[in-house]
Structure 1
Amino acid sequence: MRRCLLIATVAALAGCTVGPKFHTPDAVLPPTWQAPTVDVNSVTVNRPFESAWWTQFNDPLLTSLVQQAAASNLDLALADSRLEQSRSLIKIAGADTRPALAANGSYQRERNSQQGLNDPSGHEGKSAFDLWQYGVSASWELDLWGRVRHSLEAANAGAALSEADRNAVALSIAAETATNYLRLRGVQATLDVTRQNLDIARQSQQLTQTRFENGVTTQLDTANAAAQVATLEARLPLLEAEEVRLINALSYLLGQAPNALRQTLAVPRDIPAPPSTVPVGIPSELARRRPDIQRAEAALHRATATVGIAKADFYPRLSLGGSAGFQALEGSNLGLWSARQWSLGPSLYLPIFQGGRLSGTLELRERQQQEAALDYRRTVLAAWHEVEDALVNYAAEQRHHEALMRAVAQNKAALETARARYKEGAIDFINVLNVQRELIQTQSALVDSATRVSTDLVVVYKALAGGWPEPKSNLASQAASIPR
């Protein structure tokens, strides 16, 4: 009867978990995004979007590069390693929820003191003796107050935090790869525009030289034309260096040596245009997708669990232990039944005076929980702002791009008219030069704007945590499969 009562008491105590219980916090987000929609080339709509957002640019090479980066990027490999380490910590913490069993064996040559305690060998400390023993032992802490359970909960939250960190790296790598690729195409387009304008400037220089030789114009026109040619030529080395730098940046993201992608990426292509529609989803989905919000939630969960650990440390710890084995003064007697030995019983640890260590630890853990709760609110608010700002920038750049397209068309028409009138002698060359400079500036601005439209869309996708490619085992060894 007493044993039954003891077992029932222990079982009841085992359910007395102290400390707060974690609940997923509410993410304060608006019902819809308030940023203006775009009504030119792309339209943002509140519907679920394609998680593989990089495919929306309809560029197979871009898609391949993003997938390759997911398979071979070294920063992502490090994040994967840290995630696996955190999962190993779960196994370590989970071991305390189960009994521990160990085997042991030993042999010792001993001699006891003649003036000390009794000599079990019967030699009264006058000579040495052998001691042989082996057996098994077991121990198990009864988790009466949830200390072990909270420790396991904290380990699981730590793994969730590491997974969120890993996902944040994966999203950042995908966005950085796409951004560098789009910028590369923008630089190559700027190079093409610069070379085209350089050809026009050289034609103008030749024209002014011919008119100067015929006595129709002055040396001022030839000097201005030559300066325009030199100015455009000076732009080329910097643009070419930027092209190489971006190719190397992509090579690094893919875990490859500098210039490894030179042959693949050096051939210019058009800047990938955004899709006709850009669905942004609903704000309530943001907390489930964004890795930084997931990380903040996991950090709050872990901090809450550590409060429970600190509270459980105020209560007694009860452990059950036992051992069984054989002990003999001669090895030949180890197998005898009379050589058996065993022990069984509970042990109790009760903290009485710790000099304020326990109360100080609890206070620290509660402060850390409060900090984690504030950090969660801050992270959600920052994400909200980031999405709204990204949508505003994308909409504004779309309108900017449309205006620049009209400006370029007008400047081209103006340059044709100015060149024709200069040939007729109706205007000075300085007028032609001014129109050509304006065209060069607007053309360069148009290319930059086209690049920003696409890169701003990448920022939108990153802010919305649209997704990231999961690495495939065969991608790491298939660099040669990238479309050329």
Structure 2
Amino acid sequence: MKFRYKHSFLIGFAILSLSACVTKKYNRPQVTSEGLYRDNNTSDTATMADIPWKSLFSDTTLQSLIQEGINQNLDLKQAIERIKISEATLRQSRAAFLPSLQGDLSVTDAKQSAAALNFPPGININLETQTYRAQLSTAWEADIWGKLSSAKRAAYATLIQSDAAKRAVQTQLIATIANSYYTLLALDKQLAITQETIKIRRKDVETVKALKEGAVVNGAAVVQSEANLYAAEVSLPDLKRSIKEAENALSVVLAKAPGAINRTTIDQQVPYSNLQTGISAQLLQNRPDVIAAEYGFRSAFENTNVAKTYFYPALTLTASGGLSSLQLKNFFDNSIFYNLVGGITQPIFAKGQNKARLKTAQAQQQQAFYTFQQTLLTGGQEVSNALYAYQTAVEKEEARAKQIASLTKAVDFTKELLRYSSATNYTDVLTSEQSLLTAQLSGINDKLQKLQSVVNLYRALGGGWK
């Protein structure tokens, strides 16, 4: 008994050794994960990617929209279905280690031709027979070279890849909803500023008309003031159209028919300011698309292992057994049959299929490696871009506030000078008013850039799925 166990152990060890010679163990590929953040060489591992998205966004209306998107978004639902497909493939690869089993019930009616049998005359033989058969058959392939094991690991890697891809969809979804929401708030504010400017310019037209009657200005100033009013009015339709289009786009993201979006104002938004990036190597475990790319490479690596095993012999055991009889009434009497076959199949000439399979798998593995590299580099680029966008917005914010304050005074001064000094031309008023409106609208864009850069940095770091 001890000898038999020892013998079995030696056989098993030999099989594992042979398998190790054909297939290789996976190791993470060597990729550069340090120094991906430009001009940001922090060693602090604290990162805003670990913050739940509800803590990043203080606006409860935005929180509700994001939750609605997570529950209803169709891209996210598709990603979940892809996970189910990967789970089914993994279950199938695990079941490949087990023998197959199938049952068969059959009735065969066969009739021979008397002329074909060429019996002598006078011999009467029953030329028609019925055969009744019930059997079970099974087949099992020994995983000598690690083909089934590698296929299982490839399926598992694909499952993790699809799960990471789903998380990447979620992080992008959160960013899309937040950025679209902030865009709507910015458009609302720009519309409000434009409408207020129109009210002011209508009053200006009346004022200029009164000044003309007092011979302070001429008719050209009246026409110029009216043109200035129309210039503001003509921008209203485009702003309203942009708002409708932004609402429609966000509605589709939320998986509902285009319609109005409930929202607050941009003045109520407080950007998250603790922009901790951590170190760039953390992208390997925080950013879902990087994780997905690595597991895509791992799946391709295991598929290469599978392709290698096709060059080696396959050991297959098949067995079948059951009952077979020519008469139904004697079906259970001495009608048992069985057969057991063990065979080794060595590919000799497969018309180049095995070589083509291996070369294809190796090329796909290399492609997956390049995708992994590219995804990691893109992650570093996006983090750097978002940081610069935030810093730029902060720098512009202070200067923009001073610009708007100065232009507001310029508008007031030129209007007062127009009343009391003939040396002031209405063109000066037009110029200062147009500059003020442009600065005010640009100021809204600055705040939008600041808000969206925080969202983009959060997504680039891999936040939103934990």
Q: What TM-score do the two structures reach when normalised by structure 1?
A: 0.87
Asked if the contact 2:36–2:377 (Cα under 8 Å) also holds between the matched residues in 1, the reply is: no
Residue 396 of structure 1 is aligned with which of 392, 396, 399? Answer: 392
Asked if the contact 2:97–2:148 (Cα under 8 Å) also holds between the matched residues in 1, the reply is: yes
Residue 329 of structure 1 is aligned with which of 326, 343, 357? Answer: 326
**TM superposition shift of 1:378:** 2.3
**TM superposition shift of 1:282:** 2.4
Distance 1:348 1:195, change over 3 A: same
Residue 431 of structure 1 is aligned with which of 424, 428, 431? Answer: 428
What is the correspondence of 1:125-164 to structure 2 with a 5 Å cutoff? 126-164=126-164
Counterpart for residue 276 of structure 1: 273
**TM superposition shift of 1:381:** 1.8
Q: Supply the distance in 1 between the matched residues of 2:30 and 2:419 (Cα, whole angstroms).
A: 72
1:57-96: CA deviation from partner (whole Å, max 9, x where unpaired)? 3111111111110110111111211221121111222221
**TM superposition shift of 1:145:** 0.4
Output the amino acid matched with 1:241: R
Output the amino acid matched with 1:421: L
Counterpart for residue 372 of structure 2: 376
Asked if the contact 2:113–2:127 (Cα under 8 Å) also holds between the matched residues in 1, the reply is: no
Q: Tell me the SS of whatever aligns to 2:267.
A: coil
**TM superposition shift of 1:441:** 1.0
Asked if the contact 1:252–1:258 (Cα under 8 Å) also holds between the matched residues in 2, the reply is: yes
Residue 309 of structure 2 is aligned with which of 309, 312, 334? Answer: 312
Asked if the contact 1:185–1:271 (Cα under 8 Å) also holds between the matched residues in 2, the reply is: no
Counterpart for residue 448 of structure 2: 451
Q: Tell me the SS of whatever aligns to 2:27.
A: coil
Asked if the contact 2:114–2:127 (Cα under 8 Å) also holds between the matched residues in 1, the reply is: no
Q: Tell me the SS of whatever aligns to 2:193.
A: helix
**TM superposition shift of 1:5:** 9.2
For structure 1, which segment, 45-54 or 236-245, has the greater mean C-alpha deviation from structure 2 after superposition?
45-54
Counterpart for residue 413 of structure 2: 417
Output the amino acid matched with 2:336: R
Distance 1:87 1:99, change over 3 A: same
Output the amino acid matched with 1:365: A
What is the correspondence of 1:93-112 to structure 2 with a 5 Å cutoff? 93-112=93-112
Residue 366 of structure 1 is aligned with which of 345, 362, 367? Answer: 362
1:154-209: CA deviation from partner (whole Å, max 9, x where unpaired)? 21222222223222222221111111100000000001111111122112111101
Counterpart for residue 47 of structure 2: 48
Output the amino acid matched with 1:195: Q
Q: Tell me the SS of whatever aligns to 1:98.
A: coil
Q: Tell me the SS of whatever aligns to 1:97.
A: coil
Counterpart for residue 28 of structure 1: 32
Q: Tell me the SS of whatever aligns to 1:384.
A: helix
Unaligned segments of structure 2, at least 5 residues: 118-122
Q: Supply the distance in 1 between the matched residues of 2:276 and 2:129 (Cα, whole angstroms).
A: 84
Distance 1:287 1:410, change over 3 A: same
Counterpart for residue 11 of structure 1: 12
Q: Tell me the SS of whatever aligns to 2:256.
A: coil
**Does 2:288 match 1:291?**
yes
Q: Supply the distance in 2 between the matched residues of 1:354 and 1:10 (Cα, whole angstroms).
A: 30
**Does 2:238 match 1:238?**
yes
Unaligned segments of structure 1, at least 5 residues: 38-43, 118-122, 470-484
**Does 2:185 match 1:185?**
yes
Q: Supply the distance in 2 between the matched residues of 1:93 and 1:367 (Cα, whole angstroms).
A: 23
Counterpart for residue 73 of structure 1: 73
**TM superposition shift of 1:139:** 1.6
Counterpart for residue 58 of structure 2: 58
Q: Supply the distance in 2 between the matched residues of 1:268 and 1:368 (Cα, whole angstroms).
A: 49
For structure 1, which segment, 274-283 or 211-220, has the greater mean C-alpha deviation from structure 2 after superposition?
274-283
**TM superposition shift of 1:54:** 5.6
Distance 1:331 1:126, change over 3 A: closer
Q: Supply the distance in 2 between the matched residues of 1:323 and 1:103 (Cα, whole angstroms).
A: 9
Asked if the contact 2:307–2:354 (Cα under 8 Å) also holds between the matched residues in 1, the reply is: yes
For structure 1, which segment, 222-231 or 95-104, has the greater mean C-alpha deviation from structure 2 after superposition?
95-104
**TM superposition shift of 1:51:** 3.2
Distance 1:258 1:374, change over 3 A: closer
Q: Aligned Cα RMSD in Å?
A: 2.8
Q: Tell me the SS of whatever aligns to 2:294.
A: helix
Distance 1:32 1:355, change over 3 A: closer
For structure 1, which segment, 123-132 or 237-246, has the greater mean C-alpha deviation from structure 2 after superposition?
123-132
Counterpart for residue 83 of structure 2: 83
Q: Supply the distance in 2 between the matched residues of 1:232 and 1:190 (Cα, whole angstroms).
A: 12
Identity of aligned residues (%): 25
